[in-house]
Amino acid sequence: MNDKIAPALQQYWKELDYTTPSAIQNKVYEPMKAGKDVVGISPTGTGKTVAYTLPALEQVEPKGGVQVLILAPSQELAVQVAAVVQEWSKQLGLSVQTLIGGANKVRQIEKLKEKPEVIVGTPGRILEIAETKKLKLHQVKTVILDEADQLLQQDQLSTVRNVIGKLPGDRQMAFFSATSNELMEDLPKWFNVDPEWIDATEEDESKGEVLHAYIETPTRKRVEILRRLTHMEGFSGLVFVNNVANLTLAFEKLQYEGISVTVLHSEKYKTERQHALQQFRDGKVKLLLTTDVASRGLDIRGLPYVIQYDLPLNKESYIHRSGRTARMGQSGTVLTLVNGRELREFKKIISPLELPLTPLYLYGGELVLERPESEETEGTSPDSKAKTKTKPKTKEKSKTEPLKKPAAESAEPIKKKKKGRKKIDKNKGARKKNKL
């Protein structure tokens, strides 16, 4: 592929020290360059954004109005995609504009006067501006749905179809995702297309080594597990919580414990979300608590841990969450916190993925593979029916006991009882007081 792209793009490819294109980049280049409708399926972190960007840009005429439209399901993903597309567009003298909710609409409309050739954004904001007639879409040649399976969910499908309805009938359509679902089989019905399906999942070798593991722990102790994980050397974790209420509660507890933590969810303003993400990327905080809004497409380079505070709702959710680590050849760990009942449910959810699942234990400031021999361990595995023999109780503190906060310095010292006093002398002070 990299021998066929435009010379300016070839040069930039070399400047970025890119070597061999990934499987998805190789397989979709020719069909997209030829203007065919395609579905591209490939694991997370395999360069799908570059895969569709290069052939799409090569069909664009400079100063010819909006010709490429890229839709993303979230503001964060749209901003990230736009940054990548903009880098490559500069090499061809093309301009890119981002249109997302949460940003100043008046300012976005004003900037459209610069006549960008590429628009990247969320369906709601793009439709909103298009209906004001300030965004002209009649010259669009290519429309790309990034994280297509998410955009085809019921809450976004209607908006996406309304946006597509404003495009020329002979436009090219491309659908990209790490996973496919039954909704993607209805593409001919929704958009009157017959796309070429390109699945590079089996052929891709750019995915790094991932350890899929779990710690069995009571739900009430999960915040404590997160706290202890942050004391591990080089630790940094993206933590997935299923709802904002539980996320906020965990955040407040961690903050009270003095842990460096921030949050990213849909109820935060755009600037707050961008700030939280940047803090985490810069290593200023060790934990980023988020809902599934961040499981789609976010690129956090060198992320060592993805932690599931709550179980994923389905196997697709697990794939997208775990895809935030071990990107482009790096290694990483996906660590799920479960209780005994949830472990059985968790195994059912991911059983179609046929992933090796490893029980881990938190001991001595490290994650270990074997259960420590002690009276009480934070995580235990039901897979092992044999119970560890307990040692006789002694006054010595258990090595696996969670770290406890030191007693407050201001606490009053405990007064020792005086021994050997006669019965008549006891409570003498109280009797004197009564006589007075």
Q: In the 3-class helix/strand/coil scheme, how is 238-259 assigned residue by residue?
A: EEECCCHHHHHHHHHHHHHCCC
Q: Which of 43, 40, 23 is nearest to 31 (CA)?
A: 40
Please give the pLDDT value at position 227. 96
Across the chain, what does the average pLDDT equal?
A: 84
Q: In angstroms, what CA-CA distances link 187 with 48, 74, 194, 241, 333?
A: 20, 21, 8, 31, 35
Go through the chain and tell me how many residues it has. 436
Q: Which of 122, 115, 112 is nearest to 93 (CA)?
A: 115
Please give the pLDDT value at position 385. 36
Please give the pLDDT value at position 194. 94
Residue 393 confidence (pLDDT) above 70: no
In a domain, 414, yes or no: no
The dihedrals phi and psi of 117, each to the nearest 5 degrees, come to: -90, -20
Residue 406 confidence (pLDDT) above 60: no
- Predicted confidence (pLDDT) per residue in 46-93, tens digit: 889 999 999 999 999 999 999 999 999 988 899 999 999 999 999 999
Mark which of 368, 386, 415 sits at the end of a domain.
368
- Regarding whether 228 and 179 lie in a shared domain, the answer is no
In a domain, 411, yes or no: no
3-state secondary structure of 161: helix
- Regarding whether 93 and 74 lie in a shared domain, the answer is yes
Q: Residue 52 belongs to a domain with what CATH number?
A: 3.40.50.300
- Flag the least confident range among 222-231, 319-328, 370-379: 370-379
- Regarding whether 116 and 246 lie in a shared domain, the answer is no
Q: In angstroms, what CA-CA distances link 135 with 83, 105, 106?
A: 21, 12, 12
- Regarding whether 223 and 148 lie in a shared domain, the answer is no
Whether the Cβ atoms of residue 92 and residue 60 lie closer than 8 Å to each other? yes
Mark which of 199, 224, 247 sits at the end of a domain.
199
Where does the pLDDT of residue 372 fall: very low under 50, low under 70, confident under 90, or very high at 90 and above?
confident
Q: Which of 52, 56, 55, 54 is nearest to 41 (CA)?
A: 52
Where does the pLDDT of residue 387 fall: very low under 50, low under 70, confident under 90, or very high at 90 and above?
very low
Domain count, the chain: 2
For range 97-120, the mean pLDDT:
95
Largest CA distance in the chain: 107
| Axis crossing angle, helix 75-90 with helix 270-281, rounded to the nearest 10 | 70
In a domain, 243, yes or no: yes
- Regarding whether 183 and 148 lie in a shared domain, the answer is yes
3-state secondary structure of 263: strand
In a domain, 433, yes or no: no
- Regarding whether 264 and 175 lie in a shared domain, the answer is no
- Regarding whether 158 and 90 lie in a shared domain, the answer is yes
- Regarding whether 215 and 364 lie in a shared domain, the answer is yes
The dihedrals phi and psi of 75, each to the nearest 5 degrees, come to: -60, -45
Q: 310: domain range?
A: 210-368
- Regarding whether 184 and 42 lie in a shared domain, the answer is yes
In a domain, 266, yes or no: yes
Residue 325 confidence (pLDDT) above 50: yes
pLDDT above 70 coverage of the chain, percent: 83
Please give the pLDDT value at position 17. 83
Question: Torsion-angle region of residue 262: left (phi > 0), alpha (psi -120 to 50) or beta?
Answer: beta
In a domain, 296, yes or no: yes
Please give the pLDDT value at position 2. 73
- Regarding whether 105 and 220 lie in a shared domain, the answer is no
What pTM does this model have? Answer: 0.72
Please give the pLDDT value at position 60. 97
Whether the Cβ atoms of residue 72 and residue 101 lie closer than 8 Å to each other? no
Cα angle 157, 160, 165 (rounded to 5 degrees) comes to 125
In a domain, 150, yes or no: yes
- Regarding whether 122 and 42 lie in a shared domain, the answer is yes
- Regarding whether 215 and 355 lie in a shared domain, the answer is yes
Mark which of 148, 178, 199 sits at the end of a domain.
199
According to DSSP, residue 173 is labeled E
In a domain, 405, yes or no: no
Please give the pLDDT value at position 413. 44
- Predicted confidence (pLDDT) per residue in 238-282, tens digit: 999 999 999 999 999 999 999 999 998 776 767 787 888 889 989
